[in-house]
Amino acid sequence: MEWIEFLYENVATNFDIRMLIMWVIGGILIYLAIKKDMEPTLLLPIGFGAILVNLPLSGVITRGANEGALTVLYEAGIANELFPLLLFIGIGAMIDFGPLLSNPKLMIFGAAAQFGIFFTLCTASMFFDIKDAASIAIIGAADGPTSIVVAQALKSKYLGAIMVAAYSYMALVPIIQPPVIKLLTTKKERLIRMPYKANEVSKTTKILFPIIITVVTGLIAPNSVALVGFLMFGNLIRECGVLNSLSETAQHVLANLVTILLGITIASQMQYDTFLQVDTLLILGLGLVAFIFDTAGGVLFAKFLNLFLKKKVNPMIGAAGISAFPMSGRIVHKMGLAEDNQNFLLMHSMAVNVSGQIASVIAGGLILNFFM
């Protein structure tokens, strides 16, 4: 009977209806991960973690003298930016810059697709102080690690909402992007074929590329050195040709392990009393605006270029300039095949997608340069 009394006291004294709401949110994230296969490596840990931290007197978060495991992980891996930077090594090792290097002009689409960041910054500044607005705007980078690093460096008090919005919208890219792309393009434009002619890219070029990018971006935006450097270090491991086992480890073991820890640790910032606020809903809305305008910026820029180009580009590839790699590139490819089963846009869209990865990190560095 004692445990029944303890259970009654615990629930009656410490339960808050908002905890139940967070359980529902966690359940929805788990459902999307399992049933809809939307970035399960991220949404499942975040969803389960949201339930863990919102149990009455939950022992996974620090309370008084009792240290909680998720709080310790947060301090060890996110507060000091370690997890996001380690994840960048894995992402860099996954990326093949070959298609981009064989057609470097596609890099401009990665820059155009960051428009949503700066549009959202202007909008968010009307509701939040400038550092929080800048942190919220970087959700539009479609790059979770960059969002964490920027929000942490700018000491945003909305870090939890920003992290959840960034990773949730990355998972929802297959739902968000196609309607925006269709709205802004005609069927004739979506039918434009872009034959791919692979130009040989030397091994020396592939090795020099990450080094040169790191140096150049470091000179332009010094605060981006850690972000760009870790991403390019991972790519250098891939391309050097003498560290194949390390490259495989970075792509699979390291990336998967850090993603699991990152996902469940993010949930430590989803406690009901700080998460369920009007500001959180506003941040989620602004994050969606950022993703939509990123997609629109890339597509409209491609349409603008077509006014001057003799050889037209399919404007859908502009949407792949967001950093959600490789999801966005695949979406554009699938949309191209849906319109014309002989229209293969994969190599072009992936080239734009990897350029978006670089551009988003540089954009994050520029935001830090402006507002730190």
User: Helix/strand/coil (H, E, C) string of 73-108?
Assistant: HHHHHCCCCHHHHHHHHHHHHHCCCHHHHHCHHHHH
The per-residue pLDDT for 188 is: 92
| Rg, C-alpha atoms of the chain | 21
**pLDDT digits 0-9 by tens, 149-174:** 888 888 888 887 888 888 777 777 88
Question: What is the average pLDDT value for the chain, to the nearest integer?
Answer: 86
Residue 10 in this model has a pLDDT that exceeds 70: no
Q: Interhelix angle for 203-220 vs 225-239, to 10°?
A: 170
State the pLDDT at residue 215.
Answer: 93
Q: Which of 296, 288, 355, 293 is nearest to 325 (CA)?
A: 355
Label residue 2 by pLDDT band (50, 70, 90): low
pLDDT band at 148 (very low <50, low <70, confident <90, very high): confident
**Residue 249 contacts by C-beta under 8 Å, 6 or more apart in sequence?**
none
Q: Is the pLDDT of residue 252 over 60?
A: yes
Query: Using CA atoms, how far apart are residues 336 and 316, in angstroms rounded to an integer?
Result: 8
Q: What is the pLDDT of residue 326?
A: 77
pLDDT of residue 6: 60
Give the list of residues 6+ apart from residue 151 with CB closer than 8 angstroms, or none: 135, 138, 158, 159, 162, 163
pLDDT of amino acid 12? 64
pLDDT (tens digit per residue) in 324-346: 777 888 889 899 999 888 888 88
Instruction: Quick: pLDDT tens for 112-146.
Output: 888 888 888 888 999 999 999 998 888 877 777 88
Q: What is the Cα–Cα distance from 143 to 353, expressed in whole angstroms?
A: 12
pLDDT over threshold 90, residue 24: yes
